[in-house]
Structure 1
Amino acid sequence: MKVLGSRVTNLKLAELLNNISLNSFHFPESLALKLAEDLPATDRQGFVENVKQSGAEIDDPLIIEKEEYTVLAATSPLSGRIMSDVLEKARLHNLPPWSNANLNSSASAYITLLTTAKRIYNNSLASESQRLEDLLALNPVGSLIGVLDSAGNVLIISTSLNRPFGSKRLLPSTGVILSNFNLHPTDNLLPWSCPLILKLKNNNYADGDDDHDDDEVLAIGVTGGLSAPFVAAQIIINKVHGGKSAPEAVTGPLLHLERGSPGQLLGCVSTVTNGSDVYQVLLERETGLRGADRCSDPTLVLILQSHAGHVGAYGAPTARVHIDGY
């Protein structure tokens, strides 16, 4: 454990994670032994035993490979399926991002996206014999930690404070993603947390040129309730199909899902107030939609961006984002 303000370096982290993935038979003990080296000698054995009892396992990441981009995501199977299905439907419908210059067109696209998301959620939950009310009641929250350098090396962690290694999911084979979000004891589908890597491909390479240094890399972390995979998909849509900048991709209107009548999902659009023209146009197409500066779900978004040697960090909602160190 490091005190506030300490400089933390681990130049062999990628090597450590790779070695763990190659020796998965001894996981999580191999990871615990390495991490315990930073602890006082009297605390090491207890730490190792606690980690071993967690029953952690190594999983492969969700990989979405498209012509324009690649996504590596450390999500639960349900969250991954929801996110990939929303992305595919948005591509098929050629849904544009939000634009205040054409409110009617943007509103129609948003309502189409919301309707599609509701259908995907309901179908996904039904296939897993999950009750919507049970998942809404869990309302998990978490935090995000991200590290990025100008060379494009990235580490993003989604975590909860009450149970380290709670989700029993670690993805060291990528060298970039860890996920230990808390898992409900009776539900193998959570967490909703969506730490992912988005790589935007530069298609202007010369023939035979395999140098992808100009590719833009973004680490995107989304925590919160069941809206997390839906919000993650919208950020990718805004960035890939809308050509928005990283901060615009997270601060523009984003759709969230909220509890309605039993078994029903309602929509909420963030950064839009009930009295605005934007909300009125949306309400004409979706009567149950709610506009709010911040929707009721505890969604938190973090983006780290690396492109051509430049790095940046952005988050939303801004009132809950710590900017120290950005």
Structure 2
Amino acid sequence: MIKTNTNNFLNDFINELKNGNIGISFHSNADLDAIASSLITYELCKRYNEKCCIDLKQGLSKESIIALKEINIEIKKCDFNYDKLILLDNAGIEQVSNLISNKNIPLIVIDHHREGKIFQISKLYYIDDDASSTTEIVSSFASKLTINLDENISTLGILGILFDSNRLERASKSTLESLLYLMKNGDYKKAISIYYKIIKGIEEDFSIKMAKLKGFSRAIIGKVCKDLIAVVTEIGSYESIVSRTLIQNGADVAFTIKYKEGEDIRISIRISDKAISKGIDASNIARIVADKYNGEGGGHIGASIVTIKNKKPIEKEKFFSYLVNLINGICKESG
């Protein structure tokens, strides 16, 4: 479902681009969807205004760094202060708090995550939670405006869609339309090759393998909704990968708590298709958990994140009991 605060987002978006210095950014540790959508938005912005830049202070994930190197894309750092900020692929305020500390900067939010608190403080927003990726959304804008993306950016866009759609497993008609647009100039075979290279690298990475094994060894496992397996574990890094691995290995509802002293607590939530069919929604659970712990939560029906500002560690056993009651209650309400 598309949610926006304007009758013609694309027209109003273009009008915003025509004036001022425009910054473009994303969530911390930017994945391929975040960085691909940012580069496409940058090309779109440049049609109307030379004063556009991508703010990289949020950092890039390993996957994004590998992809940029493989495709030979170099992103120049912002060399001016921007007075408008486009935020892409961001589930909540906590992930970009350092970017929006200056409340005087107008925000434009484009996203495929279910809306969190950040859209409430934005000047313009466009949220399509049916889209598989933010790259899909901005590619559709670029297509409508007949933006001629070069081969490298188009190839990165293909890669962004492949990763966030789980290699088109969550694709829709609009996903394929955006993909066809990107394939006009992009190299699909190259994108697929890089995709598998990155996946292989993740599987063979020593620190990731250690995180997965620690996640399994620290797990609390139980039954919810009569025949679903719920798992809670804790880790120091790679929480999203650990949650995904738990689902791939039999869990239906997986929660991985990332805690490092001095850092925000992050809880990665993953839900299996079987759990989704019973009415369990990861983004809804994320909002409920965030409210309980005074954090920020959001994401998708099958995968979400909760961020909690610098607090003492969550007691895993109590958290598990709380979640069992919460999820059983959701199943009862769903019938």
TM-score by length of 2: 0.25
User: Which structure has more strand as a fraction of its residues?
Assistant: 1
TM-score by length of 1: 0.26
